[in-house]
């Protein structure tokens, strides 16, 4: 989705902004622009297409040291140069970049047009630029507040003004915005990825909060203009984590990160002596944990599938009824919030609008909600009552890989903790801990089979349509496998419960329709094998994701993963599916890190 960067300091602003925008490319966008405040006034450059096209269009001498930049993902009006940001006031004095949606933009446009304002774009953002320019308030801060008092909707915005050339004013309401604190320089960004090359000292703005940044530092304040006196915090993020290193794509890098990132995630969180997990961030003691009679997990897309994996871990290990629901549905159905249910929001970005809204809905009705979130300090992390950080490191590729395995691993630890305050024995707890500790080494083994998986993927890439099947623990794995495959290869991939094949979808099976079967070595192996015969009997090609020793026929294409505890097997079974999707997309020559029509974090409805 859209990205914001801003800079004020002693360096030339343009290269800093361009570099920041390039770091935000992964979020998905269709146009980009910058505005630079220099001696002669503001210069605005906008371009449809890539940040590198914008960069190529810039004049050589662009010396201004204050500026704002934006990558736009079209919402109001098509992707054109006129609709790209920054948007400016009629006289060019005010420039604005904006993420989010202004709900009353149409009414405001009409009112402004009636007063003689001519609009040059279809955007809701242009309305803000005109409102600020027309405000009679004396300072830029007061003019921004004046404008914002007239708009309803969500925004993160950054504003520059030729009359106040030493500053950027930023505001946040429902869309993330972060300040980066440097040495006599300040940065603004909608995403940490744009800041990390420059600073790890950051300030997260809250909803309803504004900030002024100058070379002298920053001031945060409320809508009532009262200082909110935020202190910077240090973020634990490494520039190497956002660089491609030797990998061709971020998706590939992030798949190969997993052995190390999972090891990091587990560090200090497993208590071998008592066979339990230490999750201090939950802010829930044993008595409170014992009190929950149900667990409800809320997330979207792959996070929802991770939630389904988590629900079955919780049911198996803690014997508490648990289920997952898409947050995007939950928020609209006036959900019944029960006092003895533990609600869990799961999100990589921590900014997905549907999930963030579901968190608010639970809290508004007095429910207890914790977050399993990757991005530290994100909206969902801050709005939840407690939580477990995923520590996956930055996930840049649009298609989620390592975040999903971290979510599933986080759920395994939560299930272990909930189990151990109930009836799970110490020895069973220790069995799960040993399983968790084996994950990094086992993931290494799986990714070392890349060449074989790539060959299998090559065979699947030609199919127009595929089934991914699994049952019980394996079903969310199949759903995630289909999701990954369709996202990056644009092939139709549908997940089904293996048990449901014969109730309808079998009609589609023929020699052109491959089936990828999740077939672990567990209590359902024989049933799954029998179902697979229904496919092969109809000449359907198959690929089996399984454990060693399950399939003894070498003619059946298979990818084996090391066996772990049955409850944890889903974590490992997802890994070859990530590589399968990656290599199918690679064989098809597609834009793997930025699949068409998709954005990294969906911060609008």
What residue ranges bind ligand F6R (CB under 6 A)?
Answer: 300-303, 347-349, 352, 355, 399-400, 483, 487, 601-602
Q: Which is nearer to ligand F6R, 51 or 577 (CB)?
A: 577
Q: Shortest approach of ligand F6R to residue 100 CB, angstroms?
A: 17
CA–CA distance, 414 with 313 (Å, rounded to integer): 9
Q: Which is nearer to ligand F6R, 202 or 399 (CB)?
A: 399
Tokens found for residue 259? 């052995």
| Chain Cα centroid distance, residue 221 | 28
Q: Say if residues 31 and 79 touch (Cβ distance below 8 Å).
A: yes
CA 227 from chain center: how many Å? 31
CB of 468 to ligand F6R, least distance (A): 14
Going by C-alpha positions, the residue among 545, 579, 554 that lies closest to residue 467 is: 545
Q: How far is the CB of 396 from ligand F6R (least distance, A)?
A: 11
For residue 166, count other CB atoms closer than 10 A to its CB: 16
In angstroms, the Cα distances linking 453 to 43, 216, 397, 462 are 51, 54, 20, 15
Active site residues: 2, 600
Which is closer to ligand F6R, CB of 84 or CB of 399? 399
Gap between the Cα atoms of 571 and 135, Å rounded: 55
For residues 254, 260, 264, 268, the Cα torsion angle rounded to the nearest 10 degrees is 150
Task: Tell me the closest approach of the beta carbon of residue 119 to ligand F6R, in angstroms.
Answer: 32
DSSP state of 395: -
The smaller minimum CB distance to ligand F6R, of residues 358 and 542, is found at 358
Determine the Cα angle at 159 with ends 153 and 163, to 5°. 140
Minimum CB distance to ligand F6R, residue 517 (Å): 21
Measured CA to CA, the distance from residue 266 to residue 282 in angstroms comes to 15
* Strand spans (E) along 207-313: 209-214, 217-222, 233-234, 270-271, 276-277, 294-299
Q: Is the peptide bond before 569 cis (omega within 30 degrees of 0)?
A: no
For the bound state, the minimum distance from the C-beta of residue 488 to ligand F6R, rounded and expressed in Å, comes to 9
3-state helix/strand/coil string of 112-140: HHHCCCCCCCCCCHHHHHHHHHHCCCCCH
For ligand F6R, which is the closer residue by CB, 348 or 405?
348
Considering beta carbons, is residue 352 or 546 the nearer one to ligand F6R?
352
Which residue's beta carbon is nearest to the bound ligand F6R? 301
Q: Which is nearer to ligand F6R, 96 or 412 (CB)?
A: 412
State in angstroms the smallest separation of the CB of 30 from ligand F6R.
18
Give the DSSP per-residue string, 468-500.
EEE-TTHHHHHHHHHHHHHHHH--EEEEEEGGG
């Amino acid at each position: 989705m859209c990205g914001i960067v801003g800079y004020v300091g002693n360096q030339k602003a343009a290269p800093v902004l361009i570099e920041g925008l390039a770091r935000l490319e992964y979020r998905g966008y269709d146009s980009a622009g910058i505005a630079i405040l220099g001696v002669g006034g503001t210069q605005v450059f906008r371009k449809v297409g890539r940040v590198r096209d914008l960069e190529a269009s810039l004049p050589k001498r662009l010396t201004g040291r204050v500026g704002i930049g934006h990558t736009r993902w079209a919402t109001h009006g098509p992707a054109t140069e006129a609709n790209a940001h920054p948007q400016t006031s009629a006289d060019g004095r005010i420039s604005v970049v904006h993420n989010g949606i202004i709900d009353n933009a149409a009414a405001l446009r009409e009112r402004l047009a009636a007063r003689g304002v001519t609009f040059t774009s279809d955007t809701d953002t242009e309305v803000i630029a005109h409102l600020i320019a027309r405000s009679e308030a004396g300072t830029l801060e007061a003019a921004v507040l004046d404008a914002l008092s007239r708009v309803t909707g969500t925004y993160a915005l950054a504003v520059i003004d030729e009359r106040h050339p030493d500053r950027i004013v930023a505001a946040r309401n429902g869309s993330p915005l972060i300040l980066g604190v440097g040495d006599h320089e300040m940065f603004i960004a909608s995403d940490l990825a744009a800041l990390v090359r420059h600073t790890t000292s950051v300030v997260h703005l809250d909803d309803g909060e504004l900030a002024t940044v100058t070379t002298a530092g920053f001031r945060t304040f409320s809508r009532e203009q009262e200082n909110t006196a935020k202190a910077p915090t240090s973020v634990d993020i490494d520039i190497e984590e956002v660089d491609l290193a030797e990998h061709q794509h971020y998706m590939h890098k992030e798949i190969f990160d997993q052995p190390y990132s999972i090891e990091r995630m587990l560090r200090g969180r497993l208590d071998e002596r008592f066979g339990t997990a230490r999750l201090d961030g939950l802010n829930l003691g044993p008595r409170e944990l014992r009190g929950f009679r149900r667990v409800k997990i809320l997330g979207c897309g792959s996070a929802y599938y991770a939630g389904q994996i988590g629900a079955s871990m919780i049911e198996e290990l803690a014997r508490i009824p648990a289920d997952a629901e898409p947050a995007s549905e939950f928020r609209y159905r006036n959900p019944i919030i029960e006092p003895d249910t533990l609600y869990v929001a799961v999100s990589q970005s921590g900014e997905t609008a549907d999930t963030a809204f579901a968190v608010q809905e639970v809290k508004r009705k007095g429910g207890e909600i914790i977050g399993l979130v990757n991005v530290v300090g994100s909206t969902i992390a801050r709005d939840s009552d407690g939580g477990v950080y995923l520590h996956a490191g930055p996930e840049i590729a649009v298609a989620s890989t390592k975040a999903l395995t971290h979510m599933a691993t986080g759920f395994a630890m939560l299930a272990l903790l909930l189990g151990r305050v109930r009836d799970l024995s110490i020895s069973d707890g220790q069995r799960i801990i040993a399983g968790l500790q084996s994950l990094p080494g086992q993931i290494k083994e799986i990714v070392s089979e890349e060449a074989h998986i790539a060959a299998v993927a090559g065979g699947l890439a030609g199919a127009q349509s595929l089934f991914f099947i699994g049952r019980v623990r394996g079903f969310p794995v199949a759903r995630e496998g289909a999701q990954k495959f369709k996202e990056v290869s644009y092939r139709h991939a549908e997940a089904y419960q293996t048990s449901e094949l014969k109730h309808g979808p079998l009609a589609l099976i023929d020699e052109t329709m491959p089936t990828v079967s999740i077939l672990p070595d567990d209590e359902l192996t024989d049933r799954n094998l029998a179902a697979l015969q229904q496919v092969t009997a109809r000449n359907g090609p198959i690929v089996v994701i399984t454990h060693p020793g399950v399939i003894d026929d070498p003619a059946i294409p298979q990818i084996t993963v090391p066996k772990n505890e049955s409850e944890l097997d889903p974590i490992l079974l997802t890994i070859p599916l990530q590589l399968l999707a990656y290599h199918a997309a690679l064989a098809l020559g597609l834009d793997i890190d930025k699949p068409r029509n998709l954005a990294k974090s969906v911060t609008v409805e």
